[in-house]
Every structure is written in C-alpha cells, then in structure tokens.
Amino acid sequence: MVALVIVLTLSVVVIFYIFIIPFTLLQGFYLTLFHLLFGHWLLIMIVFNYFMGVFTHPGRPPQGMLPEVVSMCKKCIAPKPPRTHHCSVCNMCVLKMDHHCPWLNNCVGHYNHRYFVMFCVFMWVGSAYVAITSFPLFIDQFRNEEPRFQPLKFWIVNLSLDLALIEPLFKESPPDVMLLASNFSDVVVEKKVIPKPVLKKLTYNCVLYEFMLCCGVCAALALLLVWHYQLISRGETSIEHHINKSEAARLKADGKIFKNPYDFGTKMNFKMLLGLEYERSFWRHILLPSMHLPYGDGLTWRSSTYILDPSSNPKTL
C-alpha cells in the first residue's frame, strides 16, 4: 500500500508539472507564482507527514515496572497502561492505539497520531486544489473535439512525433494516394482517418486521470476526516469509540450517564493531539514541518475528572 500511495502521488505531481503548470502560465505571472509556491508547500507537507507517519514508531509499553496498569494483555502476557491496545497485525501492544493503517503500513498510536491526521488534512487540501486547478483544462479536453488549449508547448516534440507518424505513409503509399494533413494532427489516407498523434491522446488521458483521481481521493478523505474530527472532538480513538459506546449503553440501562474521562472539550482535545499546549505555535508547528513530540509518554494520562500533579510527573498528559 505504501508503494501504491507513492506511485499515485508521484503520478499526480508529474502530470501537474507537465500539463497544469503550462496552463496556469496563460492566466498570468502572479497566478502562476501562487501555484508554484502554494503547490510546493502542500507537496512538502504531504510528503513530510506521510513519511513521518510511516517511519515513526507509534509507541509500545516498556519492559519492567509501569507507573499505571489497567489490565493484562492476553496475547503479550504483559501489563497494559491506559489507552493501550494490542495490534494483531504488528503483534504488539500500542500506546493510545487508534487503528492499524494499511496505507501507512504502520499502527496509528501515541507518537504518530498527529502525523496521520495532518497527512489526511494536507492530502485532502492538495487533492481539492489540483482538482479545482485542473477543472478548466478538464472541461476543455472533455467537451471540445479540438481543445482550445494544448498544454504541451514543446512544439519540436509534437512535430517530431507527427512526422514520425506521417513519414512511413509517404514511403509505403503509392504516388497517386492523396495525403492530407491539418496542422500535422490528422492524416487522411484513402479517406481513412489516422488517429491523432500520441501526445494529444496523452494530454486527454492524463488530464482526465488527474481530475477524476483527485476528485475521488478528495471525496474519500472528506468522509475519513469527518469521522476523525468527531473522534478527536470527543477525546477518543477509533477503538475507544466502540468501547465507550458499549459502556454508555450498559450504564444507560442502569440509569447512569457515561462520561469519557479523556474528553476536555473540542479545542483542548485538538491542542493535545497536535501538541500545541505550553506556548507552541500553530503556524510554526503545524503549517510547517515539525518533529515535536506529543506531550506525555503515553503511559499515564490526566483525565477530566482527576488531574495528576504535573510537578510529580512533568511528562504526564
């Protein structure tokens, strides 16, 4: 899956450079400059967060004594700290495990949860940006039989390919066969139309591929981000969502109300996930590549009903 993500992302970037950027040149210098700066910033953030999510270990309980234990893992035969769950794919217990992501080929846990979320956010923004930017070119290629804009301005390459297609016809055809060419694009031999040159077909296929792929990724990531926004705003992981749901139903049957002990409100929940507590800047640590660690060691957690004394454990969340 990691190879597939890399190949798809690389294909979108290459097509954007070859087909979309030349199209923006016709719309003005400053708009092209914006596309170059904004597009490269997005690309850097996508690549950074993705590879950090892939190569950052999500965290696992250390051997020996633990400051807090809530249960025993039946597979690892080892104590589990709060919010720790066993991953059957990685065959280990993961601190604050959210889920095992096949696209990262890694578990999403305490130390790489932020990278996973930010990768999804920047990939969604990037997909929407490319889809919107390529939409006029997509309409031009899709509706018009002869597109008004040909992004391939390398006329020497076009001419070479056209001549390569036409020259064999002159050699193989008798003198009395009429050859008609219009801008070296369509060749008629005995009233049979030879297909358009490869580059024009390539332009159509690449623009169609770019637009449809980005629209599909944008829609899929939108649904995923809505789901994770709900989880983060409630201060729970994907696994904890199912646990809390069943626990709330059990307490409701007894006339009681369940309260998630790790829910500090939407704003604080996001600040804790993104590591923005204690003077960290959103502009520096989120909008630019940052390898800052999450607060806490993933072994002990403060709760909304009982807050540990930070002076006794400065790494405690």
Residues whose CB is less than 8 angstroms from the CB of residue 153 and which lie 6 or more positions away in sequence, other chains included: 22
**CA 7 centroid distance within chain:** 13
Rounded to whole angstroms, how far apart are CA atoms 66 and 271?
A: 26
Q: Are 115 and 105 in contact (CB under 8 A)?
A: no
Q: Which of 207, 155, 166, 181 is nearest to 20 (CA)?
A: 207
Q: Which of 235, 264, 283 is nearest to 98 (CA)?
A: 235
Rounded to whole angstroms, how far apart are CA atoms 19 and 24?
A: 9
Pairing relation of β-strands 186-189 and 179-182? antiparallel
Residue 281, SS3?
A: coil
Active-site hit among 87, 101, 214, 218: 101
Residue 93: active-site member? no
Which of the residues are catalytic? 101
